[in-house]
Chains A and B, each alone.
Chain A
Amino acid sequence: AQKVTQAQTEISVVEKEDVTLDCVYETRDTTYYLFWYKQPPSGELVFLIRRNSFDEQNEISGRYSWNFQKSTSSFNFTITASQVVDSAVYFCALSEGAAGNKLTFGGGTRVLVKP
């Protein structure tokens, strides 16, 4: 069965500091997809990034970057130079087989960025 664990429940930083969110996943499938979503106080889940199991290349997109390591089943996410608007709950999620299949979410990490 698939499982996603986010060990950090809450992180508090001062604006302009970097924030790294940890995510560990479990799956028996060889084809799977990993996602990060952001949930601001309004409640809507906003898609941030997606990687598939065949592409371990780590990338940077603006202030976001991610570190995907199959050897440790981890998919960590970093926000560089955090801003107050980054304050939200961040969820890591996993789908098996196809990107559109059911998502299994972690418990979420609340990020509070103080001015």
Chain B
Amino acid sequence: DAGVTQSPTHLIKTRGQQVTLRCSPKSGHDTVSWYQQALGQGPQFIFQYYEEEERQRGNFPDRFSGHQFPNYSSELNVNALLLGDSALYLCASSYVQGTDTQYFGPGTRLTVL
């Protein structure tokens, strides 16, 4: 039973560029959430997708957008990258319409130069 997978593992971008991160949920899970974890801090909730729609959103600017596909996989897009966007981006999945425990993937480490 495959767990949550994320790609790429690492990514280096320059300020002003755009980036897309990808996530495949655990088998049987229908809800995907994204978190940003700055170095030395706890993860911060970005948003959650269920049935291809954004259900909840944290305190992040519109530069952060997402998408969920019919197979429940998801993408996180960040436009106009800032140095402060450098972080570990974690994807989590859950099932039963997001009412169950969230399980996390290995994360994508984004460095913005």
Interface of A is mostly: loop
> Which residues of chain B come closer than 8 Å to A45, judged between CB atoms?
43, 90, 92, 104
Establish whether residues B33 and A102, one from each chain, have CB atoms under 8 Å apart when the complex forms.
yes
Which residue of chain B lies nearest to A45 when distances are taken between CB atoms in the complex? B104
Q: Which of the listed residues A50, A102, A107 has the most CB atoms from chain B within 10 Å of its own CB?
A: A102
Interface residues of A in 26-78 (CB under 8 A from B): 35, 37, 42-47, 50
> Which residues of chain A come closer than 8 Å to B98, judged between CB atoms?
98, 100-101
Chain A residues touching B, range: 20 to 34
Which of B14-22, B69-77, B78-86, B105-113 contacts the other chain?
Answer: B105-113
Q: Report the bound CA distance from A35 to B31 in whole Å.
A: 18
> Which residues of chain B come closer than 8 Å to A106, judged between CB atoms?
42
A residues contacting B by CB (< 8 A) are 4, 35, 37, 42-47, 50, 91, 93, 98-108
B residues contacting A by CB (< 8 A) are 31, 33, 35, 41-45, 48, 56, 58, 88, 90, 92, 94, 96-107, 109
